[in-house]
A and B are shown apart, each in its own frame.
Chain A
């Protein structure tokens, strides 16, 4: 696994229609240790997706620096797995081939990558959907495939942009528990973006609150692991932390 360092990151968009500049990210510094799980919360439009896109290498920064494992980010790469807010599944590939895509790019033979893909699909309760095409799945199922596809490529850093936004509450809880379990086993370095304060606290080692393109607060979460909702919901620390974070997000 690798660490992720973000130093004085800045992004200014140019809006060609209005002819004005929009500064989405003012000045963000954030260090994520190897194997650490960090949640980023903040109101809509505060620059969360923009930061993630720069870390993924999809978008050039207008200032600052991003290092993964000590090396500056120069573009997209398989060391950083991305789960997209809008799934981004390949419509022309079956679920199995979508999940096996990363291994295929690494040159893993067909039989082996199918085995890997099936294993991960089973984790997300999607075994029955392996041979279907993405458009034949519900939104929630597509989102799970998106998560599983990133996991199956076993990246050093996982970048997740509201990956559970379009699943129902029950499924979301199951997936959150699944994710912490897989993360504990594989120890990916995770940057997890969400609107959901409870989710942010439940999953993370640290919660970063973002406001208007700046880091407002950085709060450690010391809840014991493994975490399961039945226990965490009742936990006083969880309640206190969630209330605190929620308060800050609303003030942001």
Chain B
């Protein structure tokens, strides 16, 4: 029983991280209809930048995360401007290949600049606490709480501000948005900024309990793709729910099925979904 609760909490932690990454991915998909294969590289960059800010510049954890959000967000904006924007009319294969190019570059860059070794990130929240008989680290609690706070802020931004409303409008109808005078370029850049920022938050939060290394984004991005297909491409609530579903099933699978194959669970989900419904769950049928 205790193991079960412990694992459920682990699932909550991993799920929070997944949800944040998937949110960024789904926002970009909603606006530009591109699956950003380079999103995992943004996640990785976020981890490294926070780490560097802390170790080299001695910044506090939170301050380091803030710098990381800005830098990775700007990286996202650059990607939109110089790569995805010029490719918006190109055949569908092109943006994916372009994104893969960016991914390869950023990973090679990380390896070149920071080295290939695994690095651990210090955290001011390393202490262990007991809650209802469970042994938890503060960092894990922090991940869960911070993720919820971030999601809440994002929700407020999208629902309560004009800028947020334009993002929603554009994800529903790009041409329509163009017609009613929304500056679609600005919205696209803003979305990439937010998407990059979310990736940076996710990796900075999870790095202390995992590690920082050039390939740290690989699995996360793949799972984030599974999540947004699970939750509906472009759907914001879908990304959150999907994130927790995958998080929980992984941590339970690791305990009760096999730790070796836990990473496969998410992909089996995906294979199952797309086998049954090739256009993804919750897609509007019949569209071409």
**Are A and B associated in one complex?**
no
Which residues of A are interface residues toward B (Cβ below 8 A)?
none
Which residues of B are interface residues toward A (Cβ below 8 A)?
none
